[in-house]
Structure 1
Amino acid sequence: MTALSSLPSSLQQLVHDALERIEPRPGHEDIGIITAVGNGVARVRGLHHIAAESLVALPGGVLGIALDLDEDELGVILLGDDAHLSAGQEVRALDRLVDTPVGDALLGRVLDASGTARDGRGAISADTRWPVEREAPPIMARAPVETPLQTGLKAVDALVPIGRGQRELIVGDRQTGKTAIAIASLVNQADTDVIGIYCAIGQRGTAVARVIDDLRDAGVMDQTVVMVAAGEDPPGLQYITPYAAMTVAEYFREQGRDVVLVLDDLTRHARAYRELSLLLRRPPGREAYPGDIFYVHSRLLERATHLRDSHGGGSMTALPIVETQAEDISAYIPTNLISITDGQIYLSPRLFRKGLMPAVDVGRSVSRVGGKTQLPAYRAVAGDLRLAYSQFEELETFSRFATRLDEETRQQITRGRRVREILKQGRLRTLSVPEQIIALQAANLGIFDPVDVEAVQDLAECLRQHALPRLDDLAERMAAGESLETDDWDRLETVLRECAEQWRNGRGAD
């Protein structure tokens, strides 16, 4: 007696009808077996028809990326927790490359590379997903970098200018203000239509939360995407996060918009990739990094550029961050990134300890795009300023060993110390173009020279409050990128000297 015949006739009819409705659909599914797992990677046998960088599904909803395609087995990096995985379990190929959500729905949100929300505001409703690995735009699709990206920092905008579409490295020792400069660049876009993307790789949760608070307080969170791979996340997720952030930035760029992408930081990204490579038993090279570590970062940063109008006209400015140890700028990963990028902003721990923040070392910092991206007003004041400051740094070193200095040398040292003081800015206290030009031109004119170094910032604030309202028309032309005539510069000098004289008289009365 069969099991079906033992059922009541009514149930037999229901089962019979259900079987009649079944339509066999032959298909093919690529299935493999886990042979070993641990520390964020797995070895898998089978899956003979899978491509590199493809997604695989493991038990428990864990995703992985097929990274090593050996003859007998695969090396899979895991994007989730491997605690419940074990040898012998099945793995299925998903027949798609690793991807990430893109779209306007990501603005104002905090998420990881897989698209999982990290801000407690529910799932992200993004219908479009793009592969995290995409080809860089060809040379003929790229336009020259000519439009400035204002960071609001005098030491950067005047001396190390950044253009939209440029890749400018921020390099320095731990705790020297690298992230602060990058976040200031995002905060200064509050009154522009520039999209900001902050990518945190291996950062502490408190550090990321502080960045998010800064962006919210500045009112730019609604035009910013925060993509996070925390330090406790699997190294596989840390590895793909900057590529996913780059893909999100590319989506906005291809809509013809301007984007600033902060990668904080690529030192941790390199360490995560080194960890994965060693676990996958790849041959180690210098400092145990794999041989393709240069290519890992070059193919990432080559995707940042300014597109021609015929290709949408959008731009993506990349601000990667790298950490040095003991001011060793010639270490392996920093030198790799310096050779890939279009310049670097070097932050000196020596200046930081002196309280000179942002601690930008002008001598070691460079922008290979140069003055082509600067507004004309900056070009008029920055050349003399940089020359005077460079001469001062040399003279200050030698003056420590000299017993007597001639008057010209003493004057240069006096001017240089006040220039250094005027370049100081508080954390995230960004300034507009006219506010910066007024302070820098006052330094060029020697208006701060008779003033004690401790009072330079007070005089600069006085000039900002009283001189700027008298120069509304000039301020508009500076911000619009118009060149100022000789009469305009003479008028600016007159107003600055009058305001400085009033400030000195007021202090004398006090």
Structure 2
Amino acid sequence: MSVEVTAIIPRLAERLGEARPRPMKGTVRSIRGVLLRASVAGVRIGEQCQLRDPSSGRSLAAEVIGFEQDEAILSPIGSMEGLSTRTEIIATGETLGVSVGDAQLGRVISPMGDYLDGDGVLPLGIMRHYPLHAEPPPPFSRQLIVKPMSLGVRSIDGLLTLAQGQRMGIFGEPGVGKSSLLASIVRHTDADVIVIGLIGERGREVRELLDVQLDAQARARTVAVVATSDRPAAERVRAAYVATALAEYHRDQGRNVLLLMDSLTRFARAQREIGLAVGEPPTRRGYPPSFFSALPRLLERAGPGPVGSITALYTVLTEGDVSTDPVAEEARSILDGHIVLSAELAQRNYFPAVDVLRSRSRLMDQVCSDEQRHLAMRIRELMARRNEIEMLIRVGEYAAGSDPLADEAIARHAAIEAFMRQGAAEPSGAEQTLSHMRKVLA
């Protein structure tokens, strides 16, 4: 008998190894706003569940974001149209992730991984799975930042030079040309791969950016993640994490990646919508405490890694005083610099409308040459002096010869403006930009 049992044990072990645990199931208790509460045992924070409604046939994914007594709080990733109290909740036991691969270059995807450009799906066999909420690289595993990053925009490359692996914010009011600036950067940058996250944008603008403003060469090295303004809050939040995960994949392949996220403000508003629906107490401007911990976790994932780098540009919508805007204030405190776009310059048909004197790149001195640093300081000095005497010039009260620096600022004003202005389809490499700076001060 013992011999028979001994012979059976290996076969039983093999069968048990092939067995799949029965998934935990539950039912919807209530649906309120953008969240639903369900009775489903054994789920964890961050776990992905599947929702299936037997009456409507509706099916979509949801993420467990909290608990209240014996109920799980889930945030559906998609429209809740068609769900009911009969909807079945199936726990998958898996955390949220995203499929990544080189074949996605040139494609437009949704936060759930669906392809939106009508060019068909990619075989799963050529894709890899990456976590949606990965940890940032440890500080001492990151490469040192030593190389400049060319964006092809003179005012930025010359006076606000970025480094490979730097994280910058682009701050501006609606309508100052943020999307046009991003399109120009995508066309002219020297990055190996470009990842664009379009969060809360109008559908018309998405089509214009990707199909009109980008040429075929730029599109071929770009992957875009799109969640338009009509999509649910959970989907808009997920878009930011998916774009970051795609950038991390390409960084891990040793590439120089440019991550463009438009906009960080709409990610924050979607996070606020979810936080308030859960019942978190509102703080400044109604933002819940969870937002102030989610923002640095997202932004810290960019930057250099052990191999490769992610240079990130995040647009931030500003209204009024930046010091009273918690999103802008938090972003400025975390990022490695800020580019301010001026509504006044935009009204003068000034592109790009970069207000150099209010902008700063914290890593410029680490990566640019002594000559460029000297030229940039001199140009900024002349621009600042010209601004100080602007009113005197307008009313005819400035007396030439009374201030040598002011005289030089007036004399070089036209050359500086010509340097700052640049057509969207006009590229300017690093050497061209430096040569133009020399001519301004010649």
TM-score (norm 2): 0.89
Q: 1:322 & 1:300 partners in 2: Cα distance?
A: 15
- The answer to whether residue 429 in structure 2 is matched with residue 436 in structure 1 is no
Q: 2:366 & 2:259 partners in 1: Cα distance?
A: 21
- Relative to structure 1, is the Cα distance of residues 347 and 27 closer, same or farther in structure 2, using a 3 angstrom cutoff? closer
Q: Name whichever of 175-184 and 222-231 sits farther off.
A: 175-184
Q: 1:391 & 1:369 partners in 2: Cα distance?
A: 25
Please give the secondary structure, in 1, of the residue aligned with 2:94.
strand
Report matched runs for 1:343-354 at 5 Å: 343-354=337-348
Give the CA deviation at 1:424: 0.4
2:3 match = none
Q: 2:294 & 2:19 partners in 1: Cα distance?
A: 42
Say if 1:357 and 1:424, in contact at 8 Å, map to a contact too. yes
1:334 match = 328
Say if 1:148 and 1:375, in contact at 8 Å, map to a contact too. no
1:395 match = 389
Structure 1 residues 79-111: Cα deviation after superposition (integer angstroms, max 9, x where no partner): 122111011422010110011111112111100
Structure 1 residues 414-452: Cα deviation after superposition (integer angstroms, max 9, x where no partner): 32343123210112422122322232211111xxxxxxx
Q: 2:392 & 2:198 partners in 1: Cα distance?
A: 42
Q: 1:26 & 1:363 partners in 2: Cα distance?
A: 62
1:52 match = 45
Give the CA deviation at 1:32: 1.5
Q: 2:378 & 2:204 partners in 1: Cα distance?
A: 42
Structure 1 residues 41-71: Cα deviation after superposition (integer angstroms, max 9, x where no partner): 2111223x11111100001221000011233
- Which amino acid in the other structure matches residue 121 of structure 1? D
Say if 1:42 and 1:75, in contact at 8 Å, map to a contact too. yes
- The answer to whether residue 145 in structure 2 is matched with residue 145 in structure 1 is yes
Q: 1:317 & 1:300 partners in 2: Cα distance?
A: 14
Structure 1 residues 8-28: Cα deviation after superposition (integer angstroms, max 9, x where no partner): xxxxxxxxxxxxxxx996843
Q: 1:90 & 1:353 partners in 2: Cα distance?
A: 54
Give the CA deviation at 1:74: 1.4
1:158 match = 158
Give the CA deviation at 1:297: 1.3
Q: 1:118 & 1:376 partners in 2: Cα distance?
A: 47
Q: Name whichever of 258-267 and 72-81 sits farther off.
A: 72-81
1:63 to 61, 64, 70: 61
1:378 match = 372
- Which amino acid in the other structure matches residue 364 of structure 1? R
Q: 1:221 & 1:95 partners in 2: Cα distance?
A: 37
1:203 match = 201
2:115 match = 117
- Relative to structure 1, is the Cα distance of residues 327 and 151 closer, same or farther in structure 2, using a 3 angstrom cutoff? farther
Q: 2:155 & 2:391 partners in 1: Cα distance?
A: 21
Please give the secondary structure, in 2, of the residue aligned with 1:371.
helix
Please give the secondary structure, in 2, of the residue aligned with 1:241.
helix
Q: Name whichever of 125-134 and 251-260 sits farther off.
A: 125-134
Give the CA deviation at 1:234: 1.4
Give the CA deviation at 1:204: 1.1
Q: 1:86 & 1:130 partners in 2: Cα distance?
A: 32
- Relative to structure 1, is the Cα distance of residues 381 and 410 closer, same or farther in structure 2, using a 3 angstrom cutoff? closer
Q: 2:166 & 2:408 partners in 1: Cα distance?
A: 37
Q: Which has the larger radius of gyration?
A: 1
Report matched runs for 1:79-478 at 5 Å: 79-126=77-124, 127-189=127-189, 192=190, 194-214=192-212, 216-217=214-215, 219-307=217-305, 311=306, 313-326=307-320, 328=322, 330-375=324-369, 378-400=372-394, 403-407=397-401, 408=404, 409-445=406-442
Bigger RCO of structures 1 and 2 (CA < 8 A, at least 6 apart): 2
Give the CA deviation at 1:180: 2.2
Please give the secondary structure, in 2, of the residue aligned with 1:259.
strand
Give the CA deviation at 1:380: 4.9
2:8 match = none
RMSD: 2.1
How many residues are paired up? 416
- Which amino acid in the other structure matches residue 250 of structure 1? E
Structure 1 residues 148-203: Cα deviation after superposition (integer angstroms, max 9, x where no partner): 111111110111111110001000000111122223222113xx461001100011
- Relative to structure 1, is the Cα distance of residues 188 and 25 closer, same or farther in structure 2, using a 3 angstrom cutoff? closer
Q: 2:23 & 2:62 partners in 1: Cα distance?
A: 17
Give the CA deviation at 1:33: 1.3
- Which amino acid in the other structure matches residue 416 of structure 1? H
2:76 to 78, 81, 86: 78
TM-score (norm 1): 0.78
- Relative to structure 1, is the Cα distance of residues 212 and 376 closer, same or farther in structure 2, using a 3 angstrom cutoff? farther
Say if 2:254 and 2:308, in contact at 8 Å, map to a contact too. yes
Q: 1:132 & 1:399 partners in 2: Cα distance?
A: 55
Identity of counterpart residues, as a percentage?
A: 28
Structure 1 residues 441-499: Cα deviation after superposition (integer angstroms, max 9, x where no partner): 11111xxxxxxxxxxxxxxxxxxxxxxxxxxxxxxxxxxxxxxxxxxxxxxxxxxxxxx
Q: Could you list the structure 1 runs, at least 4 aligned residues long, displaced by more than 6 angstroms after superposition.
A: 23-26
- Relative to structure 1, is the Cα distance of residues 329 and 436 closer, same or farther in structure 2, using a 3 angstrom cutoff? farther
Where structure 2 has 5 or more consecutive residues not aligned to the other structure, the ranges are 1-15, 53-57
- Which amino acid in the other structure matches residue 119 of structure 1? D
- Relative to structure 1, is the Cα distance of residues 278 and 193 closer, same or farther in structure 2, using a 3 angstrom cutoff? closer
Say if 1:173 and 1:327, in contact at 8 Å, map to a contact too. no
- Which amino acid in the other structure matches residue 130 of structure 1? Y
1:13 match = none
Say if 2:256 and 2:309, in contact at 8 Å, map to a contact too. yes
- Relative to structure 1, is the Cα distance of residues 175 and 258 closer, same or farther in structure 2, using a 3 angstrom cutoff? same
Say if 2:101 and 2:128, in contact at 8 Å, map to a contact too. yes
Q: 1:241 & 1:270 partners in 2: Cα distance?
A: 12
1:477 match = none
- Relative to structure 1, is the Cα distance of residues 26 and 263 closer, same or farther in structure 2, using a 3 angstrom cutoff? closer
Q: 1:322 & 1:26 partners in 2: Cα distance?
A: 46
Q: 2:215 & 2:221 partners in 1: Cα distance?
A: 13
Say if 1:236 and 1:276, in contact at 8 Å, map to a contact too. yes
Q: 1:124 & 1:356 partners in 2: Cα distance?
A: 42
- Which amino acid in the other structure matches residue 186 of structure 2? L
- Relative to structure 1, is the Cα distance of residues 222 and 404 closer, same or farther in structure 2, using a 3 angstrom cutoff? closer
Q: 2:99 & 2:68 partners in 1: Cα distance?
A: 30
Where structure 1 has 5 or more consecutive residues not aligned to the other structure, the ranges are 1-22, 446-510
Say if 2:194 and 2:257, in contact at 8 Å, map to a contact too. yes
